[in-house]
Amino acid sequence: MVPGRSPYLVHPTLMENRNDETLLASHRRNNNQLDAFDHPSVQIPLASPPWTPSSQKSPILPLDFPDPSILHDTDGTWYAFATAGNGRQIQVATSPSASGPWTYLQDVDVLPDTGPWTTGQNTWAPDVRRVGEGRYVMYYSGQRRPLTSDSGELLAARHYCLGVAVASSPLGPYVAAEEPWACAEERGGIIDPSGFLDPVTGRRYVVYKIDGNSVGHGGSCGNGVAPLVATPIMLQEVDAGDGVARVGEAVEVLDREEVDGPLVEAPSLAYLGGRYVLFYSSHCWIEGGYNVNYATAERVEGPYRKSRYNPLVQTGDFGLTAPGGATVVEGQGRLVFHANCAGGRCMFEAAFSVDQGEVIVMEGGE
């Protein structure tokens, strides 16, 4: 997931020819000041995948549209939602098909009020699910207002929490809850929520990342200096009917390892080829090592096994730089994700297939 409007430092080889105004309108990974110039990415050699994505891809939405998620509504319209930008708390675009052409809705902000618990800035990674007739739930990451005592003493930092908002139509306006849905501030906060309806059991879940690198000790994305902090992906069951009420306790399904660099994040869960497939990103989003990976499991709760063919998509594939934040387009055999572009982080897509429930093969190119 890529943050909202705060300034950040950018590696010169990744973000060339971007002016100061663009930088100020762009994204910063966490609350620590990052020094991308001092911490270039390191590519870890892995097993070679059975595909060579070499053709150049063009964005399907050529503007700054980070952390895209996709919804296919009952009337056949496709909706894409993205992190704050272009003057909107939550950005939205529509299309007659998942592959486009996409129309950016310049005059629509589907979440104009992010809730009284937020700063009203840097609203990240929305994910919208239709949970019933006339009921749509948006999961998002909101920056929490700093908590202070009556004397003005700071009691809690501006970590991110997971928020929920509901609406009667895909374009909202969504009404945010008065309080955050979950926070885990003692571990760094929560970002990158994504919903999942299990087609096998009919049970509904939300996966999200504990933002441990926001309380790291510096370096790459705030977590490149030992001791490195955990950034686990969590799975929380929710009521299948309302998509909000929690069922039981959240369970950890994945965490960073040495091969992942400072973090794992941006989870998206799908059921493909008879297995549960968890897509995620690793390394730091402002560095060339940022990528798309996947892990598989026989049960939704795991254990998940990271693929030996990771990264699934990385810098250089399809001519992309720092691709990540992939979301499954349900029933389409496609992923949407963001990668560097002239406007910031544009939305791209790629097709995939599943080989015996294990190897996912990226296909095609433009």
Residues annotated as catalytic are 67, 265
Task: Tell me if residue 363 falls in helix, strand or coil.
Answer: strand
Instruction: Please state, in angstroms and as integers, the Cα–Cα distance from residue 203 to each residue in 159, 163, 241, 242, following that order.
Output: 30, 20, 9, 11
Instruction: Please state, in angstroms and as integers, the Cα–Cα distance from residue 281 to each residue in 78, 181, 223, 289, 325, following that order.
Output: 24, 24, 15, 10, 6
Q: What is the DSSP letter of 245?
A: S
CB half-sphere exposure, 42, CA atoms < 13 A = 11
Spatial distance between the Cα atoms of 299 and 226, rounded to a whole number of angstroms: 33
Closest CA to 190 of 280, 80, 266, 129: 266
Say which amino acid occupies 109: D
C-alpha angle 297/164/302, rounded to 5°? 10
Instruction: Please state, in angstroms and as integers, the Cα–Cα distance from residue 74 to each residue in 93, 132, 173, 216, following that order.
Output: 16, 11, 18, 43
Closest CA to 1 of 274, 254, 233, 307: 233
Pairing of strands 91-95, 154-156: unpaired
Closest CA to 200 of 249, 280, 272: 272
332: exposed, middle or buried (Cβ count in 10 Å: 0-12, 13-18, 19+): middle
Closest CA to 84 of 1, 161, 183, 207: 1
Contacts of 34 (CB under 8 A, 6+ apart): 8, 9, 28, 220, 221, 222, 284, 286
Give the H or E element holding residue 230. none
Q: What is the DSSP letter of 47?
A: P
